[in-house]
Amino acid sequence: MNNSKINIAHLIHAIHSDEEFESVASEVFQLQVQRNIPFKTYLQLTNRPFSIGSPNFIPIELFKTHKVTCTPNHDVVFKSSGTTADDARSSHFVYDQSLYEYLAVAHFEKKYGALSEWAILALLPSYLENGDSSLVYMVDAFMKRAQPSSEFLLHQPELLHQKLSMLKARNQKTLLIGVSFALLDYCENGTFNFDGLTVMETGGMKGRRKELTRVELHDALQKGFPTSHIHSEYGMTELLSQAYSSDGKWFSPAPWMRAFTTDISDPFLILPPGQRGLLAFIDLANYHSCSFIQTRDIGIINEEGLFTVEGRLDKSDLRGCNLLYT
């Protein structure tokens, strides 16, 4: 496989079928088994075959304790937010930040149209405060392609109201993307009717509010924005691709990403569609790190490859997860 940055971007973006995905995924697996030492060591310690035909996902926790990468070089390091000062932050060493940006833009525009048509307002205070956020980097890349009125906002409800009012008066198609607690904080100030607005929550209360189910969260956001569209974005530091939901339930991953569920008590057992389990992903955007990730999120996959997110597995370790903690 050609290791040219631009060729890799075009190769991944050109995936349009399961057959093409499986072919590229097989090549990526073999490359990463050889070049990614934590991945290779994990497979050896768990007696897993070096074959993509088996469920060979690494526990997502390894991004907190190891440099999960195929190359010693990197453009940028993305770090997870962490909910408390004591939380260890995952680190994703990104060899090619232009690949991340290229694919993030391509997936968004496939779902929502050209970014040049959008004004983007971002309520991401916890991510901005902690720094090194892949989400902030992604939204910043979007803003560079969007309308000049796009802007990051912190705890500024009055300014946000002014910006929304201005964009509404212009009949400007607008995306308000934000962490859940910040969007709910704004909604407590009253309602705002804006037909041309899409509100996109990125999940997570970050310890600022009581955790809500996605249904409860969307109900609250819909009350705050009665005439707007309420959408969701699913992403994380360890995965360089995103998934989007427009119905409050089913997430659609990028074409170069596949979702699976595994048994909660046996992460090596892949479940059939319709059964609840731990979400795992093959994300080819992680070409230079590890594309085969087992998360701690619980959900369901349907026959079309869409997935739900129904909570997190806490206070229990996946089998084999501690094997590399040395």
**Dist CA 30 CA 26 (whole Å):** 6
CATH number for position 227: 3.40.50
Q: What are all long-range contacts of 56-59, with beta carbons under 8 Å and residues at least 24 apart?
A: 56/29, 56/292, 57/260, 57/262, 57/267, 57/280, 57/281, 57/292, 57/293, 57/294, 58/290, 58/292, 58/293, 58/294, 59/267, 59/294, 59/318, 59/320, 59/321
Q: Which of 190, 206, 237 is the last residue of a domain?
A: 237
Q: What residue type is assigned to position 228 of the chain? A: S
Domain assignment present for 261: yes
Q: Are residues 125 and 229 in the same domain?
A: yes
Q: What is the pTM of this model?
A: 0.91
| Total count of domains within the chain | 2
Whether the predicted pLDDT of 287 surpasses 80: yes
Domain assignment present for 289: yes
Q: Are residues 118 and 233 in the same domain?
A: yes
CB 232 within 8 A of CB 255: no
Question: Token pair of 235, please?
Answer: 């992403």
pLDDT band (50, 70, 90) for residue 84: low
Whether the predicted pLDDT of 326 surpasses 90: no
Q: Are residues 285 and 225 in the same domain?
A: no
Among 66-75, 83-92, 191-200, 220-229, which stretch is predicted with the lowest mean pLDDT? 83-92
**Dist CA 318 CA 266 (whole Å):** 8
pLDDT tens sequence across 115-138? 999 999 999 988 888 889 999 999
pLDDT band (50, 70, 90) for residue 85: low
**SS3 string of 116-164?**
HHCEEEEECHHHHHHCCCHHHHHHHHHHHHCCCCCEEECCCHHHHHHHH
Domain assignment present for 55: yes
Domain assignment present for 252: no
Q: Are residues 130 and 217 in the same domain?
A: yes
Q: Which of 186, 209, 237 is the last residue of a domain?
A: 237
Domain assignment present for 73: no
Whether the predicted pLDDT of 45 surpasses 50: yes
Q: Are residues 53 and 122 in the same domain?
A: no
Q: What is the pLDDT of residue 131?
A: 83
Q: Which of 237, 265, 280 is the last residue of a domain?
A: 237
Q: Are residues 156 and 208 in the same domain?
A: yes
Domain assignment present for 251: no
Q: Are residues 128 and 198 in the same domain?
A: yes
Q: Is 37 helix (H, G, I), strand (E, B) or coil?
A: helix
Whether the predicted pLDDT of 87 surpasses 80: no
CB 261 within 8 A of CB 278: yes
Whether the predicted pLDDT of 312 surpasses 60: yes
Question: Token pair of 71, please?
Answer: 């190359």
Domain membership of residue 223 as a residue range? 114-237
pLDDT tens sequence across 214-273? 999 999 999 999 999 999 999 999 999 999 999 999 999 999 999 999 999 898 999 999
Residues in the chain: 326
